[in-house]
Amino acid sequence: MRRSLVLFALAATPLALTRSAQAQGFQVNEHGSCVMARGGTGVAKSCDDGSAMFYNPAGIVGPRGWIISAGVTVIDANGGFTADLTGTKTDLKNSPIPVPHAYLQYGTDKFAVGAGMFVPYGLGTTWPDTFQGKFAGYDNNLQNIYVQPTVAWKPHPMVSIGGGVDYVIGSVTLTQRVDLSENPVPGFGTVTFGQLGVPSGTQFADGKLDGSGSALAAHFGVVFTPDERFRIGVRYLTRANITYDGNVVFTPASTGITLPAENPFGVPAGTPLDSVVSSAFVSGPLVDQTVSAKVTMPDQLTAGVAMDVAPTVTLLVDYNWVHWALFKALPVTFENAALNSTTVENYKNTWGIRFGLDWAASTNFTVRAGYIYHTGAAPAEAVTPLLPEGKRNEFTGGIGYAFSQRFRVEAAYQYLAQQDRRGRTAEFPSGVTPTTALNNGLYEFNAHLFGLTLTAGF
């Protein structure tokens, strides 16, 4: 359980086979359907829906009056794992999951204030409880909601600056089976049940961890407009250090094993093994207990340009860098100090390139399109059921329609195609540096994302 908590808190990266994240690591980048439709390009030229509070806080200055918008991105993930040994494929059971966003701002030509809510980091994976990776985790979710008061100022016709303070509200849930063969036998020192003949993969408990935490971060941005047709933007989101505090609850699961005569426990033949291990749930290591883990949501930097190549056409390019190398190791603290551990992960920094197109087909109708490529954060030795992520290509499109000067709607679609990647379903013992030695199959993944945002201006 302690190993999986560490992996979940770390990898709880997006990704790859996730239901609540689909960008680098466990980063989510879809916080407004306008920007989503044009490939996530929003740092140099914002959309007039308040989403600049995430994409570049400097971008909220300019539009006059009140703007209020709210929307959702629904992520429908598909994928599976094919085992090397048997060739058997196990499919994900993820249900479509909504990721919300909302913004409120008031602005003038030189000054603006606002508040936004978005979820830049999250993870969700659901596998069948019969999946061979169930001992690493089969029903997991990580969510980090950012609430950001924002202010922006335009001190010069060519320059806008902005920033905000983020209050981060985090929650984590991890569910997994516990393998009896890997656990020590009570009264036998370091001898495990596996050494006494219990088959590997014998489940005898179901563990569920729930935790929550909060933290503060900051967000800064600048937009430089040397020409009315050309803009340059840069934004930086700081890291957030979150301590998740919660509880672990263990529920017994039947092993289905009965003991033979002359067994090492000295009990009569035919005695269920479950009765022998039941003490683990009363006074042993699997009593319900508190647990905590420190996780860092990494800082990220985005820079980009936007150019009006025609009166009705804008081209945009963004480059995004995320500091995933912060995930070198992560300590987990249990109420039972004997379970404390530190897991090595050695994540890598990621980068991505985004291209976007805006075409104002008429005064009230806009067509958008985009393309995204980005690398993966998890090294080859850290591809697990919790985060089997890899390099991705993504294709986007959408439309915007203004019902009037006050009300408009944006709709977007995004297809995510991830490179197949080898990984494992088992875990290394605590304290052991992971290698690719346990990689035993191929993970594959794709996802369909649908976005809708409603905006009103007053």
Q: What is the pLDDT of residues 28-47, one digit of tens each?
A: 889 999 999 999 999 999 99
pLDDT class of 20 with cuts at 50, 70, 90: very low
In 335-406, where do the E strands start and end? 341-344, 350-360, 365-374, 392-402
Q: Show the domain range for 51.
A: 2-353+400-457
- Segment 110-114 mean pLDDT: 96
Q: Can you give the CATH number for the domain in which 250 is found?
A: 2.40.160.60
Is residue 389 in some structural domain?
no
- Mean pLDDT check: name the lowest of 238-252, 326-340, 364-378: 326-340
pLDDT digits (tens, 9 = 90+) for 333-343: 888 887 787 77
H/E stretch holding 115: strand 111-126
Is residue 319 in some structural domain?
yes
- Mean pLDDT check: name the lowest of 42-51, 130-139, 198-207, 363-372: 130-139
pLDDT of residue 26: 59
pLDDT of residue 177: 87
Is residue 383 in some structural domain?
no
Is residue 378 in some structural domain?
no
What mean pLDDT, rounded, does the chain reach? Answer: 87
Is residue 38 in some structural domain?
yes
Q: Which amino acid is at 85?
A: L
In 3D space, the residue among 213, 62, 232, 44 whose CA is nearest the CA of residue 145 turns out to be 213
Residue 53 reports pLDDT greater than 70: yes
Is 438 within 8 Å of 385 (Cβ atoms)? no
SS3 letters across 152-204: EEEEECCEEEEEEEEEEEEEEEEEEEEEHHHCECCCCCCCECHHHCCCCCCEE
Is residue 370 in some structural domain?
no
The count of structural domains within the chain is 1
Percent of the chain with pLDDT over 90: 55
pLDDT of residue 3: 38
3-state secondary structure of 447: strand
Spatial distance between the Cα atoms of 33 and 26, rounded to a whole number of angstroms: 20
Is residue 393 in some structural domain?
no
Is residue 439 in some structural domain?
yes
pLDDT of residue 21: 34
Output the CA angle 282-284-290, nearest 5 degrees.
Answer: 85
Spatial distance between the Cα atoms of 363 and 415, rounded to a whole number of angstroms: 28
pLDDT digits (tens, 9 = 90+) for 343-373: 777 889 999 999 999 999 999 999 999 999 9
Its pTM stands at 0.86
Is 40 within 8 Å of 94 (Cβ atoms)? no
Spatial distance between the Cα atoms of 235 and 240, rounded to a whole number of angstroms: 16
